[in-house]
Amino acid sequence: MSRLLAILLLMPIFYAGILSAYNDEPGCYKDLKLTFFSPDLVKQALSMHYRTISQSDWGPIVDLLQSRSQDVPEIIKIRANRMNPNPLEYPFDGSRAAELLYQTVYEIFSDVLHGYNVGNDGQIREMFNYIKQQQSMRLQPCLG
């Protein structure tokens, strides 16, 4: 009887441990990690500085951003695992997860544009903020 009582008392602790390691990301968040750099949005952002960004570079920039987007989930996972508590695990912390997403995709965006010698940091931030604003319309309902 005492063994059964001990098991019953320890079960909530055991299940809480399982739940805390459970990835609780909403599907829409997972999707946005891979699709943040929508080709149309990126081209609209680049067109904001059409005098300094050659239109012939837009396609290659979009292609590289699409390629580099494949790294976003792993980068976010690594960074989230370093945080305590991990914002991607149960219970999902939408505001910290959004911050991780925006930080990660900004670094990629900035790196790609610097690689093409496109714009200065202020212009890069302005273009990124345009994309971020458009994508926040998808992210906000997702995060509740």
Assign residue 57 a region (left: φ > 0; alpha: ψ between -120 and 50; beta: otherwise): alpha
pLDDT band (50, 70, 90) for residue 51: confident
What is the SS3 assignment for 89? strand
* Surface-to-core class of residue 138, CB atoms within 10 Å of its CB (0-12 exposed, 13-18 middle, 19+ buried): middle
CA–CA distance, 99 with 83 (Å, rounded to integer): 13
**Between vectors from CA 123 to CA 122 and to CA 125, what angle results, nearest 5°?**
65
Q: Say yes or no to pLDDT of 74 above 90.
A: yes
Count Cα atoms within 13 angstroms, Cβ side, for 23: 10
pLDDT of 52 reads 86
Range among 12-16, 36-40, 51-55, 138-142 rated most confident: 36-40
Establish whether the linkage from the previous residue to 91 is cis, with ω within 30° of 0.
Answer: yes
Report how far apart the first and last C-alpha atoms of the chain are (Å, whole number).
45
Q: Say yes or no to pLDDT of 131 above 90.
A: yes
pLDDT band (50, 70, 90) for residue 22: confident
CA–CA distance, 21 with 91 (Å, rounded to integer): 10
User: For residue 65, which amino acid is it?
Assistant: L
Cβ neighbour number for residue 30 with a 10 Å cutoff: 15
